[in-house]
C-alpha cells in the first residue's frame, strides 16, 4: 500500500512540475484553403511529432526551448519545412500550406493501399479524443475495405468474423443482427445513437450506406445511458468527403441473388461549402430453403453545409424497405436431434404471406468550434419503424414427432426520438494535459406489437409430418388476421407495449502526465430512467455510474491499460412474491496491451471480468404465468486477441481468438434451470477467425488478388437449453471462405465462395417446454441452418 501511495504521489507531483520547454501549435491546409488531415508534423532531428486532426490542427508539447525546424509531410508529396523559435513556457505557432488541393490529398487517402484493414482513430460519434492506441479499452474497427473484400452486404452477413469473441447464436435470417459477446447480447448503435428498442431490433443495416463499424468491447457503461457491460457496436454511415466521385456495382450469386448499388459523392456549391452523398441499393435474394426470400431497397441521402469556418451542419436520412418471407421459417424442428434433416429442409408452405418492413431514420448534426481547443456537438435523431408480418412456431408436438404449425401475427411499430449535446475540449494545468468530455443524452422510445392473434396451419387430426413434408396449401388455408383495428389497441390487448425514456448527464477528464505518456481517465454518468414492458407499470431507476481508466505508453508503439466500470441495466417484470424489480448491477474490469507495428498493423490482447446481479428469469414453478424471479448472479471472464492491418505491401491480415467462460454462479431459491455453475447459453468457449488478402503489386499480374479465411467455434453452448443426451449436443463449427479478385484503375471484379467445404452449419437449442395435446411434455430440438457452398460475383466501377 505504501509503494502504491508513493507511486501516485510521484505521478501527481511530476504532472505539475515545470521544465525548460514550450509548445508548438499550428495548422496544415491545402492550397485551396481546406484543412489537411492525417499530415505528419515533426520536429526535425528530435524524436517528437504528431499528426493533424480533421480540422488540420496539431500540437507538439514539451519541445526543448531553442531554435528548431518543423517538417510537415504526407505520403506521396514532398515535405515542407519551417523554422520556429520555442521559448520556455510559451506557445509558438506555425502554419503550413501544402501545394496540393484537398481533392488531391483525399484521392491519395481514398486510393492508397496503406492501412486498408487498420484504423487509428474512432469516429467522432464515439466522442473519444485519444487515438485507439491511447484509449484504455479494446475497440476494434471493421473498415470499408474489409467489407468490400469479404463481400459483406448486411450486418448479419459474416461481419462478426472480424472481431474476437462476437457470435450470433440464432441467425434470424437477415432480419436482426443480435450480436453477442462476453456473455451477453451487445447493444446496437448507429452514428452514436442507441437504436435498440426491443430485444428483436434493430433491422440489420444494408452495407450500401455504411462506411465502417466500430466494436467497443467490454465496459461500455459510460458510452451508454443504460446497457449491457459486454459492449456495443456502432454503425457509422457514409458522409460527404468533398471529392467528386462515384461508384456503381452489380452483384449476383447463388439462390437468385441480384444486387445493384450506386454511391455518389460531390459538391452542390462551387465553393465546396455545400456537399452531398447519395447511396442507393436494390436487392433480390432467395434462400437455400424453399419459399424464402429477402428483398431490400435503400435510399440514403446526406447533405452537409459549412456555415462558416467554425460551424458545420449535416442532415442525413436512411430508408430501408425489406420484403421478406415469414419470420420464423428459418427454424427446423425434430425429436431426433440436430442435423436429422437436410440442410435445405423447410416447413414453410408456398404462398404464405410474408413480412414487410419500412425503416426510416433522420439525423441532424451540428458541429461548432468554440475556439481552437473546444468543440461543441449537438445532434438529434428520429427513428420510425413499421412492420406488418407473421412468425411461425409449433404449438402442439405429438410424441411421434408430428406437430401443428402455428402462424402468429407480428405487426409492430417503433418510434424513437433522441438528442445529444456534448463538448470536447483540452486545457492544461501546468504540465498536465486535460482532455474534457461532458454532455447530455435524452431519449424517448416507444414500441408496440400485436402478438395476440394466431392461426394453426394444421389440425390435431392432420398434423404436419416432418418426415413427409407437404408444402402446398395447408389443410386449414392461410391466416386472415384482423388488421382493421388500430395497432395500438391490438398491442394493448396482447401486452405488446414497451416504453422507455431517460435523461443522462456525464463528465470525463483524461489527464495526461509525463508528456502524455501516462493517461488517467476519471468519469461519471448520472442516469434517470423510466421504462415499462408487456403492459406492466413503469419501473424507474436513478443511478450514478463511475468509470476509471489508466493507459501508459511504454513507447510510441506500445501501450498498456486497465479499466473499471459498473453495470447498470434497468429491467421490467412482475415478481412472483411482489415487490419492486431491481436493475441489473455489477462490476466489470478489463486490462490489456496494444501495439502498433511499423508496417501498418496492430495487435490487442485483453482480459476481462464481468459480474452481474439481479437478472430476471421466468418463475420456475409456473413458466407460463408471466411472473418472474431474480435469477441470482452471472459471471463472464475471458481473454481476447485481435490482429489487423497490412503485414507486407499488398498483404492484409485479420486474425483473432477469444476464450469465453460465462457462467451462472449463484441461483435464487426455486430456480432449477440453469443450475449454479452452468454455462450461459449461446456462446462458444473458443472462437477463432482469420481473413487474409494478398494483391500482386507489380508485373504482368499486377492487380490480381486472392483472399480467404475461416471461422471456428469450439465447445459451443446451445441458444437456451442443453440437450439431456450429451451425444446429441451441437458439434463444433468450422466455415471456410475464399475469394479471387482483379483490381485495376477504376474497375474491380471479385468472386467469393462461402462455405467452401460444404459443411452442415447450424445453431440451435433443446426445447423442453413443448407439450402434446394432452399437456404432456414432448420436447424437441430446434435449429437454424446456414447455406451450403455458395458464391457471389461482383463488378464495380469508380467514376
- Is residue 656 within 8 A of residue 138, CB to CB? The reply is no
Q: Is the pLDDT of residue 517 over 60?
A: yes
- Spatial separation of the C-alpha atoms in residues 381 and 364, rounded to whole Å: 7
Question: Can you tell me which residue has the cell 404471406?
Answer: 353
The CA–CA distances, whole Å, from 504 to 382, 389, 438, 501, 530 equal 18, 35, 11, 10, 12
Structure confidence at residue 363 (pLDDT)? 97
Percent of the chain with pLDDT over 90: 58
Note the helical H segments in 439-486: none
235-263: average pLDDT: 95
Identify the DSSP state of 721. Answer: B
Structure confidence at residue 676 (pLDDT)? 78
Q: What is the pLDDT of residues 629-649, one digit of tens each?
A: 777 788 999 999 999 999 988
Residue 329 grid cell: 421459417
468-476: average pLDDT: 95
Average pLDDT, the chain: 87
Least confident of 81-90, 169-178, 436-445, 753-762: 169-178
Q: Band the pLDDT of 680: cuts 50, 70, 90.
A: confident
Structure confidence at residue 138 (pLDDT)? 93
Buried b or exposed e, range 620-632, using 16+ CB within 10 angstroms: eeeeeeebbbbbb
The CA–CA distances, whole Å, from 297 to 219, 327, 744 equal 35, 18, 29
118-126: average pLDDT: 87
- Spatial separation of the C-alpha atoms in residues 394 and 402, rounded to whole Å: 10
Q: What is the pLDDT of residues 331-353, one digit of tens each?
A: 999 999 999 999 999 999 999 99
Identify the DSSP state of 242. Answer: S
Residue 272 grid cell: 465546396
Structure confidence at residue 349 (pLDDT)? 96
**94 forms bridges with which residues in the sheet?**
26
122-132: average pLDDT: 87
Q: Band the pLDDT of 615: cuts 50, 70, 90.
A: confident
Structure confidence at residue 323 (pLDDT)? 95
Structure confidence at residue 21 (pLDDT)? 79
Q: Band the pLDDT of 724: cuts 50, 70, 90.
A: confident
Structure confidence at residue 88 (pLDDT)? 85
Least confident of 71-75, 269-273, 295-299: 71-75
Structure confidence at residue 672 (pLDDT)? 65
Structure confidence at residue 105 (pLDDT)? 53
Q: Is the pLDDT of residue 461 over 90?
A: yes
Q: Is the pLDDT of residue 677 over 80?
A: no
Q: Band the pLDDT of 573: cuts 50, 70, 90.
A: low
Which domains does the chain possess? 2-102 (2.60.40.1120), 124-237 (2.170.130.10), 245-686+697-798 (2.40.170.20)
Least confident of 331-345, 384-398, 580-594, 737-751: 580-594
Helix/strand/coil for 730: coil
- Spatial separation of the C-alpha atoms in residues 265 and 244, rounded to whole Å: 5
Higher per-residue confidence, 440 vs 575: 440
Which among 533, 530, 512, 531 is positioned nearest to 521, based on CA atoms? Answer: 512
Beta-strand ranges (E) seen in 257-354 are 257-267, 274-284, 294-306, 311-324, 331-334
Q: Is the pLDDT of residue 482 over 70?
A: yes
Q: Is the pLDDT of residue 612 over 60?
A: yes
Amino acid at each position: 500500500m505504501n509503494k502504491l501511495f508513493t507511486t501516485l504521489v510521484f505521478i501527481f507531483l511530476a504532472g505539475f512540475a515545470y521544465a525548460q520547454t514550450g509548445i508548438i501549435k499550428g495548422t496544415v491546409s491545402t492550397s485551396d484553403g481546406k484543412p489537411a488531415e492525417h499530415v505528419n508534423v515533426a520536429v526535425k532531428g528530435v524524436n517528437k511529432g504528431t499528426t493533424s486532426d480533421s480540422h488540420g490542427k496539431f500540437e507538439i508539447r514539451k519541445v526543448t526551448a531553442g531554435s528548431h525546424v518543423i517538417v510537415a509531410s504526407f505520403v506521396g508529396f514532398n515535405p515542407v519545412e519551417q523554422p520556429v523559435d520555442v521559448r520556455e513556457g510559451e506557445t509558438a505557432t506555425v502554419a503550413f500550406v501544402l501545394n496540393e488541393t484537398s481533392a488531391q490529398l483525399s484521392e491519395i487517402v481514398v486510393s492508397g493501399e496503406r492501412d486498408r484493414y487498420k484504423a487509428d482513430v474512432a469516429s467522432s460519434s464515439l466522442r473519444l479524443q485519444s487515438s485507439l492506441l491511447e484509449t484504455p479499452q479494446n475497440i476494434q474497427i471493421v473498415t470499408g475495405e474489409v467489407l468490400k473484400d469479404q463481400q459483406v452486404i448486411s450486418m448479419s452477413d459474416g461481419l462478426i468474423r472480424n472481431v474476437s469473441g462476437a457470435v450470433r447464436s440464432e441467425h434470424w435470417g437477415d432480419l436482426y443482427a443480435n450480436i453477442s459477446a462476453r456473455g451477453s447480447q451487445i447493444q446496437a448503435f448507429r452514428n452514436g445513437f442507441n437504436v435498440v428498442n426491443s430485444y428483436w431490433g434493430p433491422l440489420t443495416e444494408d452495407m450500401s450506406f455504411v462506411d465502417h463499424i466500430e466494436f467497443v468491447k467490454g465496459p461500455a457503461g459510460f458510452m451508454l445511458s443504460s446497457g449491457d457491460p459486454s459492449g456495443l457496436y456502432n454503425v457509422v454511415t457514409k458522409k460527404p468527403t468533398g471529392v467528386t466521385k462515384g461508384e456503381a456495382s452489380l452483384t449476383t450469386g447463388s439462390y437468385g441473388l441480384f444486387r445493384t448499388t450506386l454511391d455518389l459523392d460531390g459538391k452542390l456549391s462551387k465553393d465546396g461549402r455545400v456537399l452531398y452523398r447519395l447511396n442507393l441499393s436494390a436487392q433480390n435474394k432467395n434462400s437455400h430453403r424453399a419459399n424464402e426470400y429477402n428483398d431490400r431497397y435503400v435510399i440514403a441521402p446526406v447533405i452537409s453545409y459549412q456555415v462558416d469556418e467554425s460551424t458545420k451542419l449535416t442532415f442525413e436520412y436512411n430508408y430501408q424497405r425489406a420484403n421478406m418471407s415469414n419470420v420464423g421459417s428459418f427454424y427446423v424442428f425434430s425429436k431426433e436431434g440436430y442435423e436429422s434433416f437436410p440442410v435445405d429442409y423447410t416447413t414453410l408452405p408456398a404462398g404464405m404471406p410474408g413480412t414487410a418492413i419500412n425503416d426510416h431514420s433522420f439525423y441532424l448534426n451540428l458541429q461548432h468550434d468554440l475556439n481552437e481547443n473546444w468543440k461543441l456537438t449537438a445532434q438529434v435523431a428520429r427513428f420510425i419503424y413499421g412492420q406488418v408480418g407473421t412468425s411461425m412456431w409449433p404449438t402442439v408436438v405429438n410424441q411421434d414427432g408430428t406437430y401443428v404449425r402455428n402462424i402468429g401475427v407480428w405487426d409492430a411499430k417503433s418510434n424513437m426520438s433522441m438528442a445529444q449535446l456534448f463538448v470536447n475540449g483540452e486545457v492544461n494545468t501546468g504540465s498536465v494535459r486535460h482532455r474534457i468530455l461532458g454532455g447530455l443524452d435524452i431519449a424517448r422510445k416507444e414500441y408496440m406489437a400485436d402478438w395476440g392473434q394466431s392461426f394453426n396451419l394444421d389440425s390435431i387430426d392432420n398434423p404436419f409430418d416432418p418426415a413427409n413434408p407437404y408444402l402446398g396449401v395447408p389443410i386449414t388455408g392461410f391466416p386472415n388476421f384482423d388488421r382493421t383495428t388500430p395497432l395500438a389497441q391490438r398491442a394493448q390487448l396482447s401486452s405488446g407495449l414497451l416504453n422507455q425514456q431517460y435523461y443522462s448527464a456525464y463528465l470525463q477528464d483524461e489527464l495526461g502526465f509525463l508528456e502524455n505518456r501516462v493517461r488517467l481517465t476519471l468519469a461519471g454518468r448520472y442516469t434517470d430512467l423510466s421504462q415499462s414492458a408487456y403492459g406492466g407499470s413503469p419501473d424507474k431507476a436513478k443511478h450514478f455510474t463511475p468509470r476509471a481508466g489508466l493507459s501508459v505508453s511504454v513507447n510510441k508503439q506500445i501501450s498498456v491499460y486497465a479499466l473499471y466500470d459498473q453495470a447498470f441495466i434497468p429491467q421490467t417484470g412482475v415478481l412472483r412474491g411482489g415487490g419492486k424489480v431491481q436493475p441489473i448491477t455489477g462490476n466489470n474490469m478489463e486490462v490489456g496491451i496494444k501495439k502498433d507495428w511499423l508496417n501498418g498493423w496492430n495487435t490487442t490482447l485483453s482480459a476481462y471480468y464481468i459480474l452481474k446481479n439481479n437478472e430476471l428469469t421466468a418463475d420456475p414453478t409456473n413458466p407460463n404465468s408471466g411472473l418472474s424471479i431474480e435469477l441470482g448472479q452471472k459471471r463472464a471472464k475471458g481473454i481476447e486477441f485481435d490482429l489487423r492491418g497490412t503485414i507486407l505491401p499488398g498483404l492484409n491480415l485479420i486474425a483473432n481468438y477469444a476464450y469465453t467462460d460465462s457462467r451462472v454462479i449463484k441461483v435464487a431459491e426455486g430456480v432449477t434451470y440453469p443450475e449454479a455453475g452452468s454455462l450461459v447459453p449461446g456462446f462458444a468457449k473458443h472462437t477463432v477467425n482469420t481473413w487474409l488478402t494478398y494483391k500482386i503489386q507489380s508485373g504482368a499480374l499486377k492487380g490480381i488478388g486472392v483472399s480467404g479465411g475461416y471461422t471456428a467455434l469450439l465447445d459451443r453452448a446451445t441458444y437456451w437449453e442443453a440437450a439431456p443426451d450429451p451425444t446429441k449436443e451441437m458439434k463444433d463449427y468450422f466455415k471456410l471462405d475464399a475469394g479471387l479478385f482483379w483490381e485495376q484503375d477504376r474497375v474491380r471484379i471479385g468472386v467469393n465462395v462461402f462455405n467452401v467445404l460444404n459443411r452442415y452449419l447450424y445453431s440451435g437449442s433443446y426445447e423442453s417446454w413443448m407439450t402434446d395435446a394432452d399437456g404432456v411434455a414432448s420436447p424437441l430440438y430446434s435449429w437454424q441452418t446456414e447455406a451450403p457452398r455458395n458464391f457471389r460475383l461482383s463488378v464495380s466501377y469508380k467514376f
